Amino acid sequence: RSCEGRNIRYRTCSNVDCPPEAGDFRAQQCSAHNDVKYQGQFYEWLPVSNDPDNPCSLKCQARGAALVVELAPKVLDGTRCYTESLDMCISGLCQIVGCDRQLGSTVKEDNCGVCNGDGSTCRLVRGQYKSQLSANKLDDTVVAIPYGSRQVRLVLKGPDHLYLETKTLQGVKSENSLSSTGSFLVDNSSIDFQKFPDKEILRISGPLTADFTIKIRYAGAADSSVQFIFYQPIIHRWRETDFFPCSASCGGGYQLTSAECFDLRSNRVVADQYCHYYPENIKPKPKLQECNLDPCPASDGYKQIMPYDLYHPLPRWESTPWTACSSSCGGGIQSRSVSCVEEDIQGHISPVEEWKCMYTPKMPVVQPCNIFDCPKWLAQEWSPCTVTCGQGLRYRVVLCIDHRGIHTGGCSPKTKPHIKEECLVPTPCYKPKEKLPVEAKLPWYKQAQELEEGAVVSEEPSFIPEAWSTCSVTCGVGSQVRLVKCQVLLSFSQSVADLPIDECEGPKPVSQRACYSGPCNGEATEYNPEETELLYGSLQQFDELYDWEYEGFTQCSESCGGGVQEAVVTCLNKQTREAADETLCVTSRRPPQLLKACSLDPCPPR
């Protein structure tokens, strides 16, 4: 009673694949009840798998009937919880099992099917096929997918039809017409096929147990396209050899390993170019070691030689000094030469072949230098305008600042910002003018570009819009564009791949919209409801319950001599016409700042 924890400990056993004829363990437990009457009648029971509520109960369905019964509260220990998982039921509870088949392990297979692998034993293949109709051609090959490939996915769009041809490693050929939707076995590979009026989808989790050739059978006058993606095993791999014989029979020599290209399917050595075909295949560098260190016989017997590594060290890399940097700032390159040298017993150094130094990494021959930013101009704030009415000047200080923030030289005079510009104060000077007063130009005035909530790339193909470009005009109404890509997240490598646009489902986000950059020519903009509706009608992509509307103007900024009124923007409930919290309206659809001139009568003389 003083012991804590459970008094039973479990571990997995028989951790080898079952032969195909072994059958399903859950199905065996259901069939054991075939000779037991249920409600006075015999039934042939079939397993009901993947129960989300209780995967470790023995639920079975009567063949040819809708009758589903729980024949036992617990399946036998070791029964899989789900058909596509290694997790197993123990004492009626589902326990986690990793790909190493150990209880409690969270180790998973990589995209190549290697337990706890790094994805280096396969490569991602993706592409697109477009049909080429011909009067004397009834079908065509889309793609050949080799033995051992995984995570195969093909999508056909158009009137044509997919079918399969297979060839096993023993040379046995077969064909499958893929005539209807469903899941079925082709050469012991599980196929999931979906057939729609204008589309067909083929999925094979793999690994393929034969070479598959995906073909297309023409069925209509319109063209079809097929997108495909799968992980192809790298069947030719480098394999390191044993050490070659020693270069000397006595007195100290070298011996090396090498690498040979090995075909995993035929289990034989092939020519090196097969391994060079895969960029992912990196040939192992040869290893070098000393050998036959015993002294050589001499006329007066054996000479006593000191340890080999003291008086005859291994070859080593030597380098020259780095060259001067190619650029004084902004990032440059400097280089040096690196060679393999050997030192004899007398201390003389001589160059030797590079392979003798390959037992250690070669030193880099180039490196970046002076990667700090070059000096650049920094403009200070503008001074106030030199006048209190009408047209005047304003000034600012412009300094050349280096990467440490210190005032220095080295900036290009051609790119120096101007230090003086004209300024205009909206207050009229004494004498009233007949025409409207000119409004002040605000150099810092820019239309706010709201950041849209970025779309996140997922493992299903989806549209990902990039940021909007700047407005095509510096004032008034213009347009903005952006790039919209179809992208998918590759689960193992966590990298993003671009796909053809028609691979993505659903509506494509807009790639162009209107934009407003403020009034032009320094003139105040009169409120024009028709123009505002025309501009922002294109921005209303969805019929929202809440939207922005103009609600009158603020008081005039001046009582005489020309002032400015700004339109008040509020968030309204479109049904009740009542003001609502601004967070309920879409920020990116907020109308621009709208100004109009007011109090145009001249002020009294000063």
What CATH code is carried by the domain that includes residue 220?
2.60.120.830
Beta bridge partners of 125: 230
- Report the candidate in 518, 378, 368, 532 with the shortest Cα–Cα distance to residue 448: 518
For residue 16, is pLDDT > 50? Answer: yes
In a domain, 284, yes or no: no
Rounded CA-CA distance 541/549 in Å is 16
Of 192, 208, 233, the residue at which a domain comes to its end is 233
- Confidence class for position 491, pLDDT limits 50, 70, 90: low
- Per-residue DSSP letters for 366-379? EEEE--SPPPEEEE
For residue 453, is pLDDT > 70? Answer: no
Residue 30 contacts residue 60 (beta carbons within 8 Å): yes
Residue 578 contacts residue 572 (beta carbons within 8 Å): yes
Looking at the structure, tell me whether residues 158 and 71 fall in a common domain.
no
Looking at the structure, tell me whether residues 227 and 126 fall in a common domain.
yes
Tell me which of 69 and 304 has the higher pLDDT: 69
For the chain, how long is the longest CA-to-CA vector? 127
For residues 366-386, average pLDDT: 88
Burial of 214 (0-12, 13-18, 19+ CB in 10 A): buried
For residues 255-271, average pLDDT: 83
In a domain, 593, yes or no: yes
Beta bridge partners of 565: 596
Q: Which of left, alpha, beta for 252 (phi over 0: left; psi -120 to 50: alpha)?
A: left
In a domain, 115, yes or no: no
Predicted confidence (pLDDT) per residue in 458-487, tens digit? 778 888 888 888 888 888 777 888 898 888
Calculate the alpha carbon distances from 266 to 120, 209, 210, 263, 279 in Å: 20, 15, 14, 6, 21
For residue 286, is pLDDT > 50? Answer: yes
Calculate the alpha carbon distances from 5 to 80, 91, 103, 125 in Å: 25, 16, 17, 50
In a domain, 385, yes or no: no
Q: According to the model, what pLDDT value does residue 536 have?
A: 43
For residues 162-178, average pLDDT: 87
Looking at the structure, tell me whether residues 155 and 216 fall in a common domain.
yes
Lowest mean pLDDT among 126-130, 325-329, 578-582: 578-582
Looking at the structure, tell me whether residues 164 and 228 fall in a common domain.
yes
- Report the candidate in 196, 197, 191, 199 with the shortest Cα–Cα distance to residue 225: 199
- Report the candidate in 81, 108, 173 with the shortest Cα–Cα distance to residue 491: 108
Lowest mean pLDDT among 84-98, 112-126, 310-324: 310-324
Looking at the structure, tell me whether residues 96 and 136 fall in a common domain.
no
- Confidence class for position 455, pLDDT limits 50, 70, 90: low
- Confidence class for position 383, pLDDT limits 50, 70, 90: confident
User: 502: which residues sit within 8 A by CB, 6+ positions away?
Assistant: 157, 225, 227, 486
Q: According to the model, what pLDDT value does residue 160 have?
A: 86
Reduced to 3 states (helix: H, G, I; strand: E, B; else coil), residue 38 is: strand
Looking at the structure, tell me whether residues 226 and 130 fall in a common domain.
yes
Which structural domain range is residue 62 located in? 20-103
In a domain, 365, yes or no: no
Looking at the structure, tell me whether residues 128 and 229 fall in a common domain.
yes
Predicted confidence (pLDDT) per residue in 524-554, tens digit? 444 444 444 444 443 343 345 788 888 888 8
Of 213, 233, 253, the residue at which a domain comes to its end is 233
How many other CB atoms are there within 10 angstroms of residue 595's CB atom?
21
Amino acid at the residue 241 = T
- Confidence class for position 302, pLDDT limits 50, 70, 90: very low
Rounded CA-CA distance 542/532 in Å is 18
In a domain, 292, yes or no: no
In a domain, 76, yes or no: yes
Average pLDDT over the chain reads: 80
Looking at the structure, tell me whether residues 229 and 147 fall in a common domain.
yes
Residue 228 contacts residue 127 (beta carbons within 8 Å): yes
Looking at the structure, tell me whether residues 157 and 204 fall in a common domain.
yes
Tokens of 133: 């109709």
Looking at the structure, tell me whether residues 139 and 65 fall in a common domain.
no
Predicted confidence (pLDDT) per residue in 31-62, tens digit? 999 988 888 889 999 999 888 889 999 999 99
Of 233, 263, 287, the residue at which a domain comes to its end is 233
The pTM assigned to this predicted structure is: 0.42
- Confidence class for position 337, pLDDT limits 50, 70, 90: very high
Side by side, the strands of the sheet bearing 259-263 are: 236-240, 259-263, 268-270
Beta bridge partners of 351: 341
Looking at the structure, tell me whether residues 141 and 91 fall in a common domain.
no
Residue 413 φ/ψ, nearest 5 degrees: -60, -25
For residue 169, is pLDDT > 90? Answer: no
Rounded CA-CA distance 280/231 in Å is 13
Distance of CA 573 to the CA centre of its chain: 40
Rounded CA-CA distance 123/278 in Å is 9
The alpha carbons of the chain give a radius of gyration, in whole angstroms, of 39
- Confidence class for position 330, pLDDT limits 50, 70, 90: confident
The count of structural domains within the chain is 3
In a domain, 80, yes or no: yes
Residue 23 φ/ψ, nearest 5 degrees: 80, 175
- Confidence class for position 212, pLDDT limits 50, 70, 90: very high
